[in-house]
């Protein structure tokens, strides 16, 4: 007989969500978040891995100064080793082996926040009820605090019921989803080796309250690029001809980049998100940086777009006689289709309890696609859920919040799916 345990208590879910909401941390800086997750998992009795052992190449890292300043700003002392976490090797992988033959089921929950300053007015529930983020320019504005809560309570339920389960369970608490940076590092470290089923999902995403999406589509391939132009400074009045203007190169590049997304092979997107340049009004600007992203309906379109982007960057550098370099700050592949038989099996099992839609589009990018493609490449199956709820403000806005009863819905969906797969 499966035990429900304390995680079926909605107030317990709400309290835990609010605990993590207050310590919102952006990608690769999830120090306190990671350590709290470890504390919970240790109390449940899990074997855990963290630090360098679960990572390979990390993209889009903050500077060493940013890491040090954040570590210094929070109090972190434990009787286990945390040094590698404070170097940006964040996230946790927990494993439960029942000792009985069966499938290996992995679940992925993202843990990072957005670089957003949370609204501090009484119309915003986290501020009014005292659980707004305590960290400057870091807010759980996408629901990952809810995802952490769901993952930890599923982990607790699994441990409580291990005598009634078969096979192995891998619970992945993934850092740096925002900017699609973290999943590739974990996949490269082999955390998904020999996985038969991968479950993941997201709160909100425009899905109506109480609606459950089983089998999400519309994951766009994407690449996040940082572009640097290096010129020569000079006096803007006395000797402008001696300067090499990196700002103009960057401005020209930005304008020309936005002419590119035209492909017959599929939908594409390009955005120049930031352009920072110069040091003063009377100095020919010698440094410029752009942060851009490309997206494509599939990898082929995204790769074609990236090639065109490179040509525009080269042309801009040549036109203004400056040097350039390009750094990849994040990426994710597309996920073009799911296993319909597997999705229908889950739908048929859950539809007596939920209003279910199949195959709705995410309409964006999510680096869980690295994991989904990796599992399916080796014969496994994946499902991505979307859990409908009312939102206060859009995802990534400083007004974002969700109806907390969705936590119980999502928890039950994972639990019931695991029960089905055990049969």
Q: Are residues 340 and 312 in the same domain?
A: no
CA 140, CA 26: separation in Å to the nearest integer? 9
In a domain? residue 1: no
Entry field: residues in the chain? 423
Tens digit of each residue's pLDDT (9 = 90 or more) over 9-36: 899 999 999 999 999 999 999 999 999 9
Can you list the alpha helix ranges (DSSP code H) found in 172-237? 183-188
112 and 82 fall within a common domain: yes
Question: Which of 296, 380, 301 shows the shortest CA–CA distance to 338?
Answer: 380
Structure token pair of residue 418: 């695991």
Three-state secondary structure call for residue 281: coil
Give pLDDT tens digits for 175-202: 999 999 999 999 999 999 999 999 999 9
Classify 306 in phi/psi space as left (phi over 0), alpha (psi -120 to 50) or beta.
Answer: alpha
17 and 101 inside one domain: yes
For residue 63, the domain's CATH number is 3.40.630.10
Are 78 and 120 in a shared domain? yes
131-176 residue pLDDT tens: 999 999 999 999 999 999 999 999 999 999 999 999 999 999 999 9
Helix (H/G/I), strand (E/B), else coil: 189 = coil
How many domains, in total, are found in the chain? 2
- Do 174 and 41 share a structural domain? yes
Q: Is residue 146 part of a domain?
A: yes
What is the pTM (predicted TM-score) of this model?
A: 0.94
**Domain identity same for 254 and 344:** no
Clarify whether residues 230 and 129 are in a common domain. Answer: no
| Residues 226 and 274 grouped into a single domain | yes
Token pair recorded at residue 195: 């996985």
Which of 314, 332, 350 marks a domain boundary?
A: 332
The whole domain housing 293 covers 221-332
175 and 272 fall within a common domain:
no
List of E strands, 98-192: 104-110, 168-174
Q: Is the pLDDT of residue 2 over 80?
A: no
Q: Is residue 235 part of a domain?
A: yes
My answer on whether 194 and 342 are in the same domain is yes
Cβ atoms 357, 212 nearer than 8 A? yes
Dump pLDDT digits (tens) for 389-412: 999 999 999 999 999 999 999 999
């Amino acid at each position: 007989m499966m035990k429900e345990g304390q995680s079926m208590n909605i107030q317990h879910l709400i309290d835990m969500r609010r605990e993590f909401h207050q310590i919102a941390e952006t990608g690769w800086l999830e120090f306190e978040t990671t350590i709290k997750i470890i504390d919970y998992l240790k109390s449940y009795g899990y074997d855990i891995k963290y630090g360098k052992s679960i990572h390979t190449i990390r993209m889009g890292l903050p500077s060493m100064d940013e890491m040090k300043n954040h570590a210094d700003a929070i109090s972190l002392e434990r009787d286990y080793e945390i040094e590698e976490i404070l170097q940006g090797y964040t996230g946790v992988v927990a494993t439960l082996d029942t000792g009985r033959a069966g499938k290996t089921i992995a679940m992925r929950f993202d843990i990072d926040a957005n670089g957003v300053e949370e609204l501090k007015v009484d119309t915003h529930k986290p501020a009014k009820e005292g659980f707004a983020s305590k960290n400057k320019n870091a807010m759980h504005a996408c629901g990952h605090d809810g995802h952490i809560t769901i993952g930890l309570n599923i982990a607790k339920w699994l441990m409580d019921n291990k005598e009634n389960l078969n096979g192995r369970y891998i619970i992945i608490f993934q850092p740096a989803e925002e900017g699609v940076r973290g999943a590739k590092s974990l996949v490269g470290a082999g955390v998904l080796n020999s996985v038969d089923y991968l479950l993941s999902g997201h709160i909100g995403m425009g899905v109506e309250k109480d609606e459950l999406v089983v089998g999400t589509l519309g994951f766009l391939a994407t690449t996040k690029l940082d572009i640097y132009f290096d010129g020569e400074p000079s006096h803007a009045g006395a000797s402008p001809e001696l300067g090499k203007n990196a700002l103009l190169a960057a401005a020209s590049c930005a304008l020309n980049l936005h002419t590119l997304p035209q492909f017959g092979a599929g939908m594409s997107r390009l955005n120049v998100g930031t352009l920072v340049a110069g040091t003063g009004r009377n100095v020919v600007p010698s440094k410029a940086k752009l942060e851009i992203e490309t997206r494509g309906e599939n990898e082929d379109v995204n790769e074609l777009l990236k090639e065109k982007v490179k040509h525009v960057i080269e042309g801009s550098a040549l036109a203004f006689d400056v040097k350039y370099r390009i750094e990849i700050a994040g990426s994710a592949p597309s996920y073009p289709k799911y296993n319909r038989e597997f999705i229908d099996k889950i739908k048929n099992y859950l539809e007596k309890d939920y209003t279910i839609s199949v195959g709705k589009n995410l309409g964006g990018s999510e680096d869980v696609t690295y994991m989904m493609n990796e599992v399916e490449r080796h014969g496994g199956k994946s499902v991505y859920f979307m859990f409908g709820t009312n939102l206060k403000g859009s995802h990534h806005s400083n007004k974002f919040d969700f109806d907390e009863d969705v936590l119980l819905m999502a928890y039950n969906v994972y639990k019931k799916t695991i029960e089905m797969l055990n049969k």
